[in-house]
Amino acid sequence: MTKTTPATAFLKRKNIAFETLVYDYDPSVEKLGVHAAAAVGEPPERVFKTLMAEVDGKPVCVVIPVARELSMKKLAAAFSGKSAKMMKPADAERITGYRVGGISPFGRRKHVPTAVAQEALELSCILMNGGGRGVQVKLAVSDALAAMDGVIADLLASAD
C-alpha cells in the first residue's frame, strides 16, 4: 500500500529504496511503537521510534528501538552536551512539521542533528515512522542513516 507523506516524498527525492507499511493507528495503546511493530508483523527490535529532545537547550532527533528507553545521560554525551531532556510535544510538532505519533526522521521541516541507537547496526533493514500516524517505512539501515544524515551512538538505558 502506498501513502505519500512529507517523509516518503523526501525519500523518493533522495532516490532511497523503501517500502511503506500502513496500519490502523490506535492512540489508546500504552506503547505505540510496540503496537506498530505487531500491526505490521515485524519484531519490535527492528522497529525504531523517533523522539525529539533537547541537549543543552538545542533540538536533536533520536531514533531508538520501540521497546527500549532512552538514557538522557547517554543522549547528552552523544551530542557532546551536559544535559538532555525530552522536547515538549508542541515544540516537536512545530520543528518537525509532524504530529506526535507520526514524527519521522525524514523530511522534517527543520534539519536537526540526529542520532540512531547503535543497535541498528546489527540489522540489515529497519522500520521507522513514515511521517504519519499509522505509517511505517522499511529500508536498509545504511540508506536510513544517509537519508537522515544520522550518526550512530550509544543511547539506550540499561535493560532491566
Domain locations in the chain as residue ranges: 6-153
Q: What is the pLDDT along the chain (160 residues), one digit of tens a residue?
A: 457 899 999 999 999 999 999 988 877 777 777 788 888 889 999 999 999 999 999 999 999 999 999 999 999 999 999 999 999 999 999 999 999 989 999 999 999 999 999 999 999 999 999 999 999 999 999 999 999 999 999 999 986 5
Distance, CA of 53 to chain centre:
12
CATH superfamily of 6-153: YbaK/aminoacyl-tRNA synthetase-associated domain (3.90.960.10)
